[in-house]
Structure 1
Amino acid sequence: MSAPIARSVAEHAAVVAELIGPTVTATVPLCGSRGSVTASTIVAGTRLPRFDNSAVDGFAVAAGGRRLTVDERQEFELVGQINAEPGEYPRLVAGLALRIMTGAPVPDGVDAVVAQEHVTRDGDRIRIAGGIAPSLNIRAAGEEVPDGAVIARRGAVMTAGLAGLCAALGINTVEVYAKLRVAILSTGSELVEGSAGSPRHELRPGEILASNAIMLTHAVAECGATVVHTATVSDDPEDFLDAMTRAGALADVVITSGGIGFGDHDVVKSSLRDRGVDLCIVNMRPGRPQGAGRFEGVAVVTLPGNPLAALASFEAFIRPALRTAMGFSGDGRPTLRAQLNHTIDTRPGTVRFILGAVANAPSGSVPVVDLTTTGRGLSAVIGANCFTFLDTDRPRLAAGDLVTVTVEGGAPGDLAR
């Protein structure tokens, strides 16, 4: 048996990134674009607002184009009311006023809209308290978005706000990068699926509850991709290959966990290494065994079965590849420099994935981070709000040394600055 391929973290990340190439683009309805990345520039085909309208509930007054000062006579004859609804309205002449609602169109001849709290009414006469500046409380047509303005450039994320603006401008479809469809297979005859809401399953000796599938499902969704299939598969090669074929028929990318180590029953390794998937070792801990390639034309990335190693591998190799393929720019999460509050013995030449907790810090000062260096399991996520890939040639880092951490959800205060 030949020795496994050896790669650096950067080399294996490049292999996975090339494997998961850019997705196709598609023009989709606005309601189906949530969280996608725009594949072309969006341009306004009209203006916003489309017509001059009132910014307040009040009175539209015609002052003959003059600026009225406080000491001038400011009485107007009230000749009607305009609601926020379609209609035709005649030009208003000097000395007349209309009751007007927020958002209602402002007729020609109106010089200002005075908020109702500044108006005294007596029958069909109103008096204004204070001066009236031209265009007061009038939202001019096109002042928010001129006709032909760029709304979003290629690479923008379709947020709720952007979708709402597009709808207001009559843009009903957008061109976006398609979301990748991902299948997740957890391997191991020892795995038992848990069932939420049911009595605890009585595990037999050697059985463990499966956790990687749900963990990776969350991780994939956080990237903006779509999980279309998950399954737990035994260590039987025939069962595994059948599961791979089913997953590949549904997905653009298949992620497996487990079965790529150095044991005698590593089903993923034995089944895929001669079917287009290269198995390798990477200078990372946890997460030394890795693999990537194509099975029946579908991209496959194989991860270790240890949950923390699977999480580290996803963060190092799959998340950046998925996001880049779908048009996202960067990781999407903030990073910051934080100083260690304790000494760490490192492994020069090996990249270490370490979870930690970074504390809030007064503005202008450097945050302090506590990196979890004990234990190998997912219990390290307890209290964690960040992680780092520690890569240094120094055998030891001291308290006060700076490290770069990626801040995840739940980071305190103003850390994401």
Structure 2
Amino acid sequence: MQSSLPPPSRGRGRATRERSTVPRSVSAHQEAVRSLLQAPLSAAGPAAELPLARARGLVLARDVTAPVSLPPFANSQMDGFAVRSADLAAGRPLPVAEPVPAGADPGPLRPGWAAPVMTGAKMPAGADAVVPVERADPPRFPDASAAAEVLLPQTAPGTYVREPGSDIAAGARALPAGTVLGPAQLGLLAALGLTTAPVRDAPAPRVLLVATGDEVVAPGTALPEGKIFDANGTILHAALAEAGVEVVDGGLVPDDPGVLRQLIREYAPSVDLVLTTGGVSMGAYEVVRQAMADQPVDFLSVAMQPGGPQGIGTVDGTAFLGFPGNPVSALVSFEMFLRPALSELRGLPQPRPVVRARLAERTDSPPNKHQVRRGVYAEGTVRLVGGPGSHLVSALAASNALVHIPEGRGAVEAGEDVTAWLL
């Protein structure tokens, strides 16, 4: 879990299917979600050696040790002349030896000579420095077919020389277990001569995603009076996919408990989690609450703004989470509760970088709630975007950070430090 929040309380009470009169703390609900998902997601799967091309996005099952040094030999950092630095002290021109192209295995450099050397080429034995060609007199490589001399300035030993193992030494840990393999990490393994990686070969979690509500219609269709386009499906589908989840799209379901119940029961046996949006509050037509009436699902309030109403439990034995229906509430709920659990239980790194930032302007927060505001972070300062409302999708889209004002903090003055998660 992100370190900015208070430590989670352990354990989770028995599901009651009714909203508790006392709001649950954010940390307690984080632990409840983690506990709910531990069984379906904690199986790491056997370690498997997969080709690098198939290992992208997977997690290293064990440490990888460098079998060779990088670079494996001393090489030139510049196009220039490989020299013995002591030969430059007299200030006399040096005869030019055979050039050393990249990939060649040159012989030793004779004392008092200079060898044209290309970037990345192996340094001749005896040479301890490189003088860039533009600093030579004349400032060019001579014709290889003719005898030539070059005048070079005094240069310290080691100048423009990449020493063996200066990147990583043979036997050192190249990547630790738990590393997510992206292009840079796979590139390192390839540079070390490896063709496979030991990864956790567990399938991606499968999540059934269902948006609910008579008031929403699919984007791209006609918009009748009193209706809005559904953003939750797109927001959460993208967030789940970004977290490495296989999304089973249940589409939009109207406020009909029977339809929702049938859809969930059809898919529940084949997924690890059922996730719904909307229908979890105290209104008269809370379809998710109605559909879960015979299931061990808790509908409760978390002391958080936005995202207070939450549902958690199981449906037909499958883990179930119900997020509120406002788009900002849905995404904040995902970032606060589901993404951290997915990352932790799958052995992935902390999902969002955490920074301390100066607040650009004063803001008020309910003292009995953990408020999550949207903001723009830059150069140590965070500026709030939009208000606390859970419907402000444009403000969400303009943000690059979630700003946390913990329960009990109340007003925060301009210039005070706050915790922000970078998106």
Q: Above 0.5 in TM-score?
A: yes
Counterpart of 2:125?
Answer: 108
Counterpart of 1:128?
Answer: 151
The letter for the 2-side match of 1:30 is L
- 8 Å CA contact retained: 1:184, 1:227: no
- 8 Å CA contact retained: 2:281, 2:309: yes
3-state secondary structure, aligned to 2:99: strand
Query: Is 1:254 aligned to 2:274, yes or no?
Result: yes
- The separation in 2 between residues aligned to 1:113 and 1:369, in whole angstroms, is 49
Q: Deviation of residue 67 (structure 1)?
A: 1.5
Query: Is 1:290 aligned to 2:304, yes or no?
Result: no
Counterpart of 2:209?
Answer: 184
- The superposition leaves residues 103-128 of structure 1 with CA deviations (integer Å, 9 ceiling, x where unpaired) of 22234344544432315447222223
- The separation in 1 between residues aligned to 2:107 and 2:288, in whole angstroms, is 77
- 8 Å CA contact retained: 2:355, 2:422: no
Percent identical pairs in the alignment equals 31
1:378-417 pair list within 5 angstroms? 378-379=392-393, 380-381=395-396, 383-393=398-408, 397=411, 399-400=413-414, 402=416, 404-409=418-423
- The separation in 2 between residues aligned to 1:236 and 1:325, in whole angstroms, is 34
- The separation in 2 between residues aligned to 1:368 and 1:107, in whole angstroms, is 53
1:14-413 pair list within 5 angstroms? 14-21=31-38, 22=42, 24-25=44-45, 26-27=47-48, 28-61=50-83, 67-71=86-90, 73-78=92-97, 80-85=98-103, 88-117=105-134, 118-120=136-138, 121=142, 123-131=146-154, 133-176=156-199, 179-195=204-220, 201-222=221-242, 224-230=243-249, 231-245=251-265, 247-248=267-268, 251-263=271-283, 265-339=285-359, 341-342=361-362, 344=364, 346-356=365-375, 367=381, 369-370=383-384, 372-373=386-387, 375-379=389-393, 380-381=395-396, 383-393=398-408, 397=411, 399-400=413-414, 402=416, 404-409=418-423
Distance change in 2, residues 1:104/1:296 (3 Å): farther
- The separation in 2 between residues aligned to 1:77 and 1:251, in whole angstroms, is 71
- The separation in 2 between residues aligned to 1:248 and 1:107, in whole angstroms, is 67
- 8 Å CA contact retained: 1:342, 1:370: no
Return 38-47 or 177-186, whichever deviates more: 177-186
Structure 1 stretches of 5 or more lacking a match?
196-200, 410-417
Distance change in 2, residues 1:215/1:251 (3 Å): same
Distance change in 2, residues 1:254/1:74 (3 Å): farther
Distance change in 2, residues 1:381/1:248 (3 Å): same
Q: Deviation of residue 47 (structure 1)?
A: 1.0
- The separation in 2 between residues aligned to 1:237 and 1:275, in whole angstroms, is 13
- The separation in 1 between residues aligned to 2:385 and 2:116, in whole angstroms, is 64
Q: Deviation of residue 402 (structure 1)?
A: 3.7
Return 298-307 or 92-101, whichever deviates more: 92-101
Q: Deviation of residue 90 (structure 1)?
A: 3.9
- The separation in 2 between residues aligned to 1:241 and 1:2, in whole angstroms, is 16
- 8 Å CA contact retained: 2:352, 2:421: no
Distance change in 2, residues 1:316/1:115 (3 Å): closer
- 8 Å CA contact retained: 2:373, 2:384: no
* C-alpha RMSD of matched pairs (Å): 3.5
3-state secondary structure, aligned to 1:81: coil
Distance change in 2, residues 1:8/1:116 (3 Å): closer
Q: Deviation of residue 214 (structure 1)?
A: 0.9
Distance change in 2, residues 1:312/1:89 (3 Å): closer
- The superposition leaves residues 264-285 of structure 1 with CA deviations (integer Å, 9 ceiling, x where unpaired) of 5433223335334333332334
Q: Deviation of residue 146 (structure 1)?
A: 1.0
The letter for the 2-side match of 1:378 is L
Structure 1 or 2: more strand by fraction: 1
How high is the TM-score relative to the length of structure 2? 0.77
3-state secondary structure, aligned to 1:278: strand
Q: Deviation of residue 134 (structure 1)?
A: 4.4
Distance change in 2, residues 1:202/1:149 (3 Å): same
The letter for the 2-side match of 1:301 is L
Counterpart of 1:413?
Answer: none
Counterpart of 2:9?
Answer: none
- The superposition leaves residues 52-96 of structure 1 with CA deviations (integer Å, 9 ceiling, x where unpaired) of 3222223345x5xx7223325442253x333223x5544444355
- The superposition leaves residues 353-398 of structure 1 with CA deviations (integer Å, 9 ceiling, x where unpaired) of 333456x67x8xxx4754754644124537545434444447x526
- The superposition leaves residues 227-254 of structure 1 with CA deviations (integer Å, 9 ceiling, x where unpaired) of 4322222334443244335554664333
- The separation in 1 between residues aligned to 2:247 and 2:382, in whole angstroms, is 40
How many pairs are equivalent?
Answer: 391
Return 44-53 or 99-108, whichever deviates more: 99-108
- The separation in 1 between residues aligned to 2:80 and 2:413, in whole angstroms, is 64
Q: Deviation of residue 184 (structure 1)?
A: 1.8
3-state secondary structure, aligned to 2:88: coil
Distance change in 2, residues 1:238/1:172 (3 Å): farther
Distance change in 2, residues 1:110/1:3 (3 Å): closer
The letter for the 1-side match of 2:216 is L
- The separation in 2 between residues aligned to 1:343 and 1:136, in whole angstroms, is 55
